[in-house]
Amino acid sequence: MGKITIHDVAEKAGVSISTVHQALNGKKGVSEETRKRIRKIAEEMEYQPNPIASSLKRKHQKIAVIIPQSNYYKPVWHGVRDYLNGATKHNLSWTEMPFNESDSSALGGMLDTIFAEEIDGILITGHSEVFTKENWQEIHEKGIAVSLIGADMPDSHRIFCIMPDYEIIGRTMAELVLSRIPVYGSIAICAGNPKWDPHKKVVQGFESYLKECGAPNRIYRDNSWNRKQESYAGILEMMRQPDIAACCSVLSQSSALLGRAILELGKKGMVFAVGSDFADENIQYLKEGVFNNLIQKNPYTQGYLGSKSLVEYLTMGRQHVPERVFVGSEVVFKSNVSMYQDKSYRSLLI
């Protein structure tokens, strides 16, 4: 018999090579029961680890990319595809599974596809609605590595999470606003879903900065988080308040509605306005002067680094990588918006 390899251990245990790597190196991604079973098999086979990368590269790796197809996620898809299309040195393939966030029925067959195609890794946005806690446990027990984009989700047993620092975004937004309005001017904020961690943390950062500065400005809040007519009606009513000197939004959808309300009420140029994210409408509002700034959460970088982390983990057994990586956010002006739209600048944003 030749030298026992990690492939032999994986075959004997009936799991993927990445699962053996996780089990033998004390990494997250496998249950304690599976970890003990794999270690026992490795010991019985007298397996002596070689550099893991050379073993992992011999196996063809399959990745499922599960990202919404809404306007906000276009740059995320660009980042994912740019990295994966350029990762020709790795023996891998990927399946794209775009979905409509408002259509939960479309998610039903995803789990069956993942298991049927023997997927090794999943790149997915941190939305708890995609899979249930039980689904994530089943994925975890199958030894499938998970890389999250945009938000963390502990139930997913993720290996990596690539996300913005939402509290810093809120603080940045607050500093922009305070620098442009008097102390007696009120602030309207589209605060999103208070139960969703990214929205909540942006608001927390915003409020903590105001408190640290001793700002007495009155705050109006709207907690809608979709594009429905009732959401627009709530934002429009909030913006009718005559004392509002500035307004901002923590999410893309409400930013578009906020820009629309500013125009309808004839308040363009009369209130300082900060929107979020690079949706087409928001960019147009920035160019037209409806918004003074946009906060850009680097979705392209999230997609690129999320793909890179997962691929390198699966194919090279890359260790000592932080479980959570924060990408920087940036303030976009009308004067520099073209830089973020130009493909030739993408590599500079990573």
The 10s digit of each residue's pLDDT in 161-183 is 999 999 999 999 999 999 999 98
Q: What residue numbers bound the domain in which 92 lies?
A: 59-165+300-329
Quick one: 183 and 235 in the same domain? Answer: yes
In a domain, 337, yes or no: no
Mean pLDDT (the chain) is: 87
Answer yes or no: is 184 within a domain.
yes
Amino acid at 314: L
Higher confidence at residue 293 or residue 141? 293
Among the candidates 276, 296, 316, a domain finishes at 296
The answer on 77 and 154 residing in a single domain is yes
Confidence of residue 54 (pLDDT cuts 50, 70, 90): very low
Total number of domains in the chain = 3
| 268 located within any domain | yes
Residue 349: per-residue pLDDT: 57
Same domain, 25 and 116: no
| Predicted confidence (pLDDT) at residue 142 exceeds the cutoff of 50 | yes
Residue 50: both structure tokens together: 């070689």
Same domain, 223 and 160: no
- Choosing from 249, 276, 296, the residue where a domain stops is 296
How would residue 200 be classed by pLDDT, with cut points 50, 70 and 90? very high
- Say if 334 falls within a structural domain: no
117 domain residue, yes or no: yes
Q: What is the mean predicted confidence (pLDDT) over 273-291?
A: 95
Residues 90 and 193 in one domain: no
For residues 209 and 274, membership in a common domain is answered with yes
What is the share, in percent, of the chain residues with pLDDT greater than 90? 54
Domain end position, chosen among 250, 274, 296:
296
Q: Give the pLDDT band (50/70/90) at residue 57.
A: very low
CA distances 149 to 3, 137, 196, 249, 300, Å, are 39, 19, 15, 21, 11
pLDDT band at residue 118 using 50, 70 and 90 as cut-offs: confident
Q: Determine the Cα angle at 300 with ends 294 and 305, to 5°.
A: 135
Best mean pLDDT range from 90-94, 115-119, 288-292, 342-346: 288-292
33 and 107 within one domain: no
Average pLDDT over residues 241-269: 97
- What is the 8-class DSSP label of residue 148? E
Q: How far is CA 73 from CA 98, 182, 252, 262, in A?
A: 10, 36, 10, 25
131 and 104 inside one domain: yes
Residue 56 confidence (pLDDT) above 50: no
pLDDT at residue 104 is higher than 70? no
Could you tell me if 290 and 172 lie in one domain?
A: yes
Same domain, 198 and 285: yes
Give the pLDDT band (50/70/90) at residue 204.
Answer: very high
Domain containing residue 37: CATH number: 1.10.260.40
- pTM, two decimal places: 0.79
Residue 247: inside a domain: yes
Element (H, E) at 162: strand 160-164
Task: Tell me the mean pLDDT in the region 9-27.
Answer: 81
- Is 349 contained in some domain? no
pLDDT band, very low/low/confident/very high, at 217 (cuts 50, 70, 90) = very high
| CATH number for position 109 | 3.40.50.2300
Buried/exposed code over 35-64 (b: 16+ C-beta within 10 A; e: otherwise): bebbbebbeeeebebeebeebbbebebbbb
Indicate if 151 and 180 belong to the same structural domain. Answer: no
pLDDT at 205: 98
Residue 342 lies in a domain: no
Say whether both 75 and 151 belong to one domain: yes
